[in-house]
Each structure stands twice: as structure tokens, then as C-alpha cells.
């Protein structure tokens, strides 16, 4: 199973529209400093599961091959606006899975197009999506938001979107699922150093898996660039356009420990 990080930022991205700070000026000048809204894809064989779709570039040439299914954590617009051009285009039909019991799944379900909305995922239930098995987890801080465990064969990756905080009972449920890799959206509450402390605590609660930190916003990115405080072994800050095999991701903690 292969992971591609198409975006690693928050919904605003970096550079932030209208901002002329040093960070945003640098990001406009140097492509690898930019952060698109968080979006990742898992590929196994010819199947590609796209997770989150707030990146407006999705319908452009970023994808060498189109996804075969889409998985959303919420029906709020920042999670799916990158699908608008796909929905109104002429591509193949594409199923879009997301939280069930939503009063209004979104504009996608009310507008005719190429995407088929499946608002069916329920906490503590597993749903097969092609070769992938998707287990949904509730997040107490936001009842309309789901985290997911995605399994393919013996490989297991969890995706936890950005939210104010992760309740210890939610972390316990995800840890019990035993993910080898966790892609974590940055906490949205507190100063950058407080949010990174929350990441460290959550890493411990999850039994110290390999962890990639995404959902990096403007303030956190500024802090990360101006501080050299190390993260725990196995925890790394994600970057746009990373393409990583699960086998290599599983080596992150060992490599970090060896470097100390």
C-alpha cells in the first residue's frame, strides 16, 4: 500500500490569500514551502482511495491517475470543495463515502454530476471500499466529524482530521484498532507549542505508531520554522507531494531513534 500526500495544510493553505508575511512571501517564491489543504491517497494495485478533498487543484494535473473512490470525514465544504470540477466534468462515475445520518450531506448530493454520494459510514462499523476496509471512529469534540482506520491486507493506517482535541476514550478506541501508521491533523486549539504537546500526548495514547502531522496552519508553520525543538521518534511533519510506501513509513521510528 502506497501513501501520497497531495496536501499537508489547513483549509487556508500556505501562502494564505492576502497575507504578506515572510512565510507567505517565501512560499510564493519557493514551491516546496507551499501547503495545499490536507489531502491524501492510498493506492493498492489499480485502486486509489482519496481521503479528504478540500484541495482545489484536484481536477487539474496533480493526479497521474484518477481516484477510484473518495472518503470524506465531514460534509462541511472545506472537506469536499476540491470535488466540484470533478463532479461537473465528464469523467467516470466516482463513489464518495462520508458520515451517515447527516441532515444535509452537501451540494454534491443535490446537484447532478459524476459523483455518487454514499452518506453511509457509521462509528464502530467497517465498510469495504474496493480492496480497502474502512473502520469509522467517532470524535467526541465534533459529532459531525469521523476519523478512519483503513486496512488493506495486514497493513493499517488511521487518519484523524484536525479538531479542537481528541478525547482520551477516542484515542483508546483508535489505538485498540492497532494502526501501524497514523496521519494526524494538527489540533486547532491553543498556541503552537501547546498543540505540539497535545500531539506528543496523543502519540503516547496511540501506543507510539509512526505519525505524520498534517493540517499545518499559518501560525504552526511559522513556529516550526523558527524553533528546532525535536519531535518524538516516529513523529514527523508532513510535506506536500510526499509519496511513501507503508513499509518505509513503518521504519520512521527506528530511523529517528538511530539518529539520536
For residue 257, pLDDT beyond 70: no
The answer to whether 155 and 84 are in contact (CB under 8 A) is no
Q: Quick one: which of 138, 109, 133 has its CA closest to 122?
A: 138
Q: pLDDT (tens digit, 9 = 90+) per residue, 155-196?
A: 999 999 999 889 999 999 999 999 999 999 999 999 999 999
Q: What is the model's pLDDT at position 203?
A: 95
pLDDT, mean over the chain: 90
Tell me if residue 91 falls in helix, strand or coil.
Answer: coil
Superfamily of domain 2-259: Ribonuclease Z/Hydroxyacylglutathione hydrolase-like (3.60.15.10)
Q: Quick one: which of 96, 93, 98 has its CA closest to 76?
A: 98
For the residues 250-257, what does the mean pLDDT come to? 70
Q: If you search the block for the grid coordinates 512571501, which residue do you land on?
A: 25
Question: Cis ω on the peptide bond leading into residue 200 (within 30° of 0)?
Answer: no
Tell me if residue 121 falls in helix, strand or coil.
Answer: strand
Question: If pLDDT is split at 50, 70 and 90, which confidence band does 109 have?
Answer: confident
Q: pLDDT (tens digit, 9 = 90+) per residue, 110-152?
A: 899 999 998 899 999 999 999 999 999 999 999 889 999 999 9
Q: Residue 8 is placed in which grid cell? A: 499537508
Q: Give the Cα separation of 31 and 10 in Å (integer).
A: 17
Q: What is the model's pLDDT at position 101?
A: 73
Domain locations in the chain?
2-259
Q: What percent of the chain lies above the pLDDT cut of 90?
A: 70
Q: If you search the block for the grid coordinates 469509522, which residue do you land on?
A: 136
Per-residue H/E/C for 164-213 = CCCCHHHHHHHHHCCCCEEEEECCCCCCHHHHHHHHHHHHHHCCCCEEEE
Question: If pLDDT is split at 50, 70 and 90, which confidence band does 247 have?
Answer: confident
Q: pLDDT (tens digit, 9 = 90+) per residue, 53-106?
A: 998 877 664 555 789 999 999 999 999 999 998 899 887 889 999 999 766 677
For the residues 218-240, what does the mean pLDDT come to? 89
For residue 260, pLDDT beyond 60: no
Q: The whole model's pTM is what?
A: 0.93
Q: What is the model's pLDDT at position 251?
A: 73
Q: What is the model's pLDDT at position 103?
A: 61
The answer to whether 237 and 32 are in contact (CB under 8 A) is no
> How far are the Cα atoms of 11, 94, 214, 255 from residue 188, in angstroms, in the given order?
12, 31, 11, 29
The answer to whether 65 and 94 are in contact (CB under 8 A) is no
Q: pLDDT (tens digit, 9 = 90+) per residue, 13-43?
A: 999 999 999 999 999 999 889 999 999 999 9
Amino acid at each position: 500500500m502506497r501513501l501520497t500526500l497531495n496536501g499537508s495544510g489547513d483549509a487556508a493553505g500556505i501562502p494564505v490569500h492576502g497575507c504578506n508575511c515572510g512565510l507567505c512571501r517565501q512560499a510564493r517564491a519557493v514551491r516546496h514551502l507551499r501547503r495545499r489543504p490536507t489531502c491524501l491517497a492510498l493506492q493498492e494495485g489499480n485502486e486509489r482511495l482519496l481521503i479528504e478533498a478540500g484541495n482545489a487543484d484536484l481536477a487539474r494535473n496533480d493526479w497521474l491517475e484518477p481516484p477510484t473512490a473518495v472518503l470524506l470525514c465531514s460534509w462541511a465544504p472545506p472537506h469536499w470543495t476540491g470535488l466540484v470540477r470533478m463532479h461537473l466534468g465528464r469523467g467516470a462515475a466516482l463513489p464518495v463515502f462520508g458520515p451517515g445520518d447527516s441532515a444535509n450531506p452537501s451540494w454534491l448530493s443535490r446537484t447532478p454530476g459524476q459523483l455518487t454520494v454514499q452518506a453511509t459510514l457509521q462509528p464502530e462499523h467497517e465498510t469495504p471500499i474496493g480492496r480497502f476496509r474502512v473502520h469509522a471512529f467517532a470524535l467526541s469534540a465534533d459529532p459531525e466529524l469521523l476519523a478512519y482506520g483503513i486496512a488493506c491486507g495486514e497493513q493499517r493506517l488511521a487518519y484523524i482530521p484536525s479538531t479542537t482535541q481528541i478525547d482520551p476514550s477516542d484515542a483508546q478506541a483508535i489505538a485498540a484498532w492497532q494502526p501501524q501508521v497514523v496521519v494526524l491533523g494538527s489540533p486547532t486549539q491553543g498556541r503552537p507549542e501547546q498543540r505540539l504537546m497535545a500531539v506528543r500526548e496523543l502519540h503516547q495514547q496511540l501506543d507510539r505508531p509512526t505519525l505524520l502531522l498534517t493540517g499545518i496552519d499559518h501560525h504552526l508553520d511559522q513556529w516550526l520554522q523558527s524553533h528546532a525543538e525535536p519531535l518524538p521518534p516516529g513523529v514527523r511533519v508532513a510535506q506536500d507531494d510526499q509519496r511513501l510506501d507503508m513499509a518505509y513509513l513503518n521504519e520512521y521510528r527506528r530511523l529517528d531513534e538511530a539518529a539520536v
